Amino acid sequence: MNIPVSTAPTIDLLLVTGMSGSGKSVALTALEDLGYYCVDNLPPELLLPFIAVEQSHGARKVAIAIDVRSAGSLPGLPQQLDQLRQSTDTVHLRVVFLDATTDTLVRRFSETRRRHPLSLHHTDDDRHRALTDAIGHERELLTQLREQAKVIDTSLLLPSQLRTEIKDLIGSAQAGLTLVFESFAFKRGVPIDADFVFDVRMLPNPHYIPALKPLTGRDAPVAEYLTQQPQVQRMEQQIAQFLGEWLPQMKADHRSYVTVALGCTGGQHRSVYLAERLGAAFGGDWATRVRHREAAGWPGATPRA
């Protein structure tokens, strides 16, 4: 980058990438609202020159979307990102990868009837096959970028929820490693952005106690019941011990986010209780967030990031 370190302003650079149909346009709109100068579909070969120009103009916050629309130039992008990471005095780089299940992406393209960037011309008879093939090819092309990014699973997110995720991401930017505890229901699938998944379905289930069934793991009667179960306490201690041993190593490896997903059958009682407990336990030493994927479906419940 052709600007002396002594004169170049520090620029907060957020690279937004991911699967077509995963919500990149929503993310960029949210970033614009947060004061970022946003550029969509920048050719990768222009990334370094563009950042140099923005720094010369005194830019502080820039978000750039690069994805499979620039498929021919993608192979050289990781090397450019490595170069930017070495410019720690002038560039604070984060990479966000928006993802969703293949079924979700197929449904979104079918609803909008938009053409996938990698789709060839096809007839109505082979449209579904061509779309799934294109999505599979896209995943292969973006594998290397996904591995070095913060992944956000948008499969079950409304646009408003994705905007909240982006705002929370920006809010925790300076916190070092951010630890996310997420409860979920196995019946709705495992979150694809999870770094660790713990299955807690073998624990005693408040669902079968009539007075506790309509409540959640955030309610006192459910928490009191689960606190009295030795299996639940043992599970909590073992997960905490595992994370306590390996989180420092992840931080030393320059990880910015670690998502720990805890799943039960309905995502309402056991997983929610443990996510809350672990979030409180680790909150004193780490930047910690707790979120409940199925929370929007509970009567009277308020989704919390």
Structure tokens given for 250: 């992840």
Kindly state whether residue 145 falls inside one of the protein's structural domains.
yes
Domain boundary among the residues 105, 140, 171 is at 171
Tell whether 205 and 143 lie within a shared domain: no
Kindly state whether residue 303 falls inside one of the protein's structural domains.
no
Domain boundary among the residues 171, 204, 239 is at 171
Domain boundary among the residues 171, 201, 230 is at 171
- Residue 304: band (very low, low, confident or very high) from pLDDT cuts 50, 70, 90: very low
Tell whether 138 and 30 lie within a shared domain: yes
Tell whether 96 and 124 lie within a shared domain: yes
Q: For 35-78, what is each residue's pLDDT tens digit?
A: 999 999 999 989 999 998 988 888 789 999 999 988 777 888 88
- Cβ 63 vs Cβ 117: under 8 Å: no
Q: Would you say residue 32 has pLDDT above 90?
A: yes
Kindly state whether residue 304 falls inside one of the protein's structural domains.
no
99: Cβ–Cβ under 8 A, 6 or more apart, which residues?
Answer: 18, 19, 22, 146, 151, 152, 153, 154, 155, 192, 193
- Residue 174: band (very low, low, confident or very high) from pLDDT cuts 50, 70, 90: low
**Spatial distance between the Cα atoms of 177 and 92, rounded to a whole number of angstroms:** 15
- Cβ 47 vs Cβ 40: under 8 Å: no
Tell whether 200 and 255 lie within a shared domain: yes
Using DSSP, state whether 266 is helix, strand or coil. Answer: coil
Q: For 99-109, what is each residue's pLDDT tens digit?
A: 999 999 999 99
Tell whether 26 and 82 lie within a shared domain: yes
Task: For residue 197, give the nearest of 261, 245, 268 by alpha carbon.
Answer: 261
3-state secondary structure 105-173: HHHHHHHHCCCCCCCCCCCHHHHHHHHHHHHHHHHHHHHHHHHCCEEEECCCCCHHHHHHHHHHHHHCC
Q: Would you say residue 175 has pLDDT above 60?
A: no
pLDDT, average across residues 237-251 = 94
| Host H or E run for residue 26 | helix 24-33
Tell whether 20 and 159 lie within a shared domain: yes
Kindly state whether residue 302 falls inside one of the protein's structural domains.
no
Q: Which DSSP category does 10 fall into? A: P
Kindly state whether residue 4 falls inside one of the protein's structural domains.
no
- Cβ 216 vs Cβ 272: under 8 Å: yes
Question: For strand 61-65 and strand 37-40, is the pairing parallel, antiparallel, or unpaired?
Answer: parallel
pTM: 0.74
Cα 290–Cα 277–Cα 266 angle in degrees, nearest 5: 70
Tell whether 39 and 106 lie within a shared domain: yes
Enclosing domain of residue 195? 178-297
**pLDDT attached to residue 136:** 93
CATH for 84 = 3.40.50.300
**pLDDT attached to residue 92:** 87
**Spatial distance between the Cα atoms of 194 and 182, rounded to a whole number of angstroms:** 8
Kindly state whether residue 235 falls inside one of the protein's structural domains.
yes
User: What is the number of structural domains in the chain?
Assistant: 2
Kindly state whether residue 269 falls inside one of the protein's structural domains.
yes
5: Cβ–Cβ under 8 A, 6 or more apart, which residues?
Answer: 87, 89, 90
| Host H or E run for residue 102 | helix 102-112
pLDDT, average across residues 11-16 = 93
Q: For 18-28, what is each residue's pLDDT tens digit?
A: 999 999 999 99
Roughly what angle, to the nearest 10 degrees, separates helices 270-282 and 230-252? Answer: 50
Tell whether 22 and 166 lie within a shared domain: yes
Tell whether 25 and 138 lie within a shared domain: yes
**pLDDT attached to residue 303:** 39
171: Cβ–Cβ under 8 A, 6 or more apart, which residues?
Answer: none
Tell whether 251 and 266 lie within a shared domain: yes
Tell whether 210 and 160 lie within a shared domain: no
Tell whether 199 and 243 lie within a shared domain: yes
- Cβ 45 vs Cβ 73: under 8 Å: yes
Kindly state whether residue 6 falls inside one of the protein's structural domains.
no
- Cβ 13 vs Cβ 88: under 8 Å: no
Q: For 142-159, what is each residue's pLDDT tens digit?
A: 998 898 889 999 998 999
Q: For 255-303, what is each residue's pLDDT tens digit?
A: 778 999 999 999 999 999 999 999 999 998 898 999 999 865 444 333 3
